[in-house]
C-alpha cells in the first residue's frame, strides 16, 4: 500500500494519494489545483490514477479534480451536498 499526504500551506488544504502497488492503481482525495504533484507521485511509484474523490466542494476551494480527471482519464466522484 502506498499512502501520501499532500499539504498546501498557502491554502491550508490537505489531499491524499492512496495506491495499491500490487495492482498499480491509485485514488486521489481532494486534489489541489496543481495536479503535477499527483501525476509525478503516481509515476514515481508505478501507479495509475484511476479514481478521484472530491469530499468538499466550496466556492473558495481551488480544486484540481476536473483537471486531474482529464489528464489521467480517472473517474471523478463528488460529494453530495444535501443542505
Residue by residue, DSSP assigns 31-72 as: -BS-THHHHHHHHHTT-EEEEEEE----TT--B-HHHHHHHH
The pLDDT, as a whole number, for residue 12 is 80
* Confidence check: pLDDT of 60 > 80: no
Regarding predicted confidence, which is higher, 78 or 83? 78
Res 11: pLDDT = 78
- List domains and CATH numbers for the chain: 2-78 (3.60.15.10)
Greater confidence (47 vs 57) lies with 47
- pLDDT tens for residues 2-56? 999 999 888 788 999 999 999 999 999 999 989 999 999 999 999 999 999 998 7
* The three grid cell numbers given for residue 35, joined into one nine-digit string: 495536479
Q: Which cell numbers in the block locate residue 46?
A: 508505478
Amino acid at each position: 500500500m502506498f499512502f501520501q499526504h499532500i499539504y498546501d500551506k498557502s491554502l491550508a488544504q490537505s489531499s491524499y494519494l492512496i495506491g495499491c502497488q500490487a495492482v498499480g492503481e491509485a485514488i486521489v482525495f481532494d486534489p489541489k489545483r496543481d495536479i503535477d504533484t499527483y501525476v509525478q507521485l503516481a509515476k514515481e511509484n508505478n501507479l495509475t490514477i484511476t479514481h478521484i474523490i472530491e469530499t468538499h466542494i466550496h466556492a473558495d476551494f481551488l480544486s484540481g479534480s476536473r483537471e486531474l480527471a482529464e489528464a489521467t482519464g480517472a473517474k471523478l466522484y463528488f460529494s453530495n451536498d444535501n443542505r
